Amino acid sequence: MKEMNEKKQCPIMCSCLYFTSNKLNRILNKMAEEEFIKTGLSPSHALTLMNINRQAGLSQKELSEIMNIKPSTTTRFIDKLEGSGLVERKLEGKLSYLYPTSKGIDLQTEIDKCWEGLNKRYSEILGHEEGIKLTKAIDKAATELEKNI
């Protein structure tokens, strides 16, 4: 029954970038959450911390631009990381600058291992070169689409 449903849906679903990209996102998100569980952070929070660890003193606005997320989302991520003692904000006038704490810096090694684990998992399934090509193609498509919305 499942196989028959997949066959009926595939011509429509498999030819739609919206649905196929969402399907890919759900699968990768599940894999990423499984990898990052050992950090106690979601993949998005880990990526946020990684950016702050690598560029201490970023403003929240700069971080939003780097991660291509809304400022309100950045604020929620920073609130969570600050509440966990991984990041601190330093206010200068109206701007807020972000710095990792020693606890946040110490977590970076584990975060790097998780990113490597995720990359290894999907590379073993897709093939290393295919994973690289797919990543580049998706980034190129996203960049082109973003220019026109």
Query: Alpha-carbon distance 147 to 140, whole Å?
Result: 11
CB 30 within 8 A of CB 23: no
Please name the amino acid found at residue 60: Q
Whether 117 maps to a domain, the answer reads yes
Q: Reply yes or no on whether the pLDDT at 2 is more than 70.
A: no
Average pLDDT, the chain: 92
Whether 18 maps to a domain, the answer reads no
Whether 9 maps to a domain, the answer reads no
Whether 12 maps to a domain, the answer reads no
Whether 24 maps to a domain, the answer reads no
Whether 11 maps to a domain, the answer reads no
Residue numbers of the domain that contains 67: 30-147
Task: Report how many domains make up the chain.
Answer: 1
The residues, any chain, with a CB within 8 Å of residue 66's CB and separated by 6 or more, are: 51, 55, 58
Whether 67 maps to a domain, the answer reads yes
Dihedral sign (CA 39, 41, 47, 52): negative
Structure tokens at 101: 């704490």
pLDDT score for 14? 83
Whether 135 maps to a domain, the answer reads yes
For 67-125, the pLDDT digits (tens) are: 999 999 999 999 999 999 999 999 999 889 999 999 999 999 999 999 999 999 999 99
Residue 63 pLDDT level (bands cut at 50, 70, 90): very high
What distances in angstroms separate CA 8 from CA 16, 22, 37, 120, 125, one per listed residue?
14, 19, 36, 33, 26
Helix axes 17-36, 2-13, angle to 10 degrees: 120
Question: The domain that contains 48 carries what CATH number?
Answer: 1.10.10.10
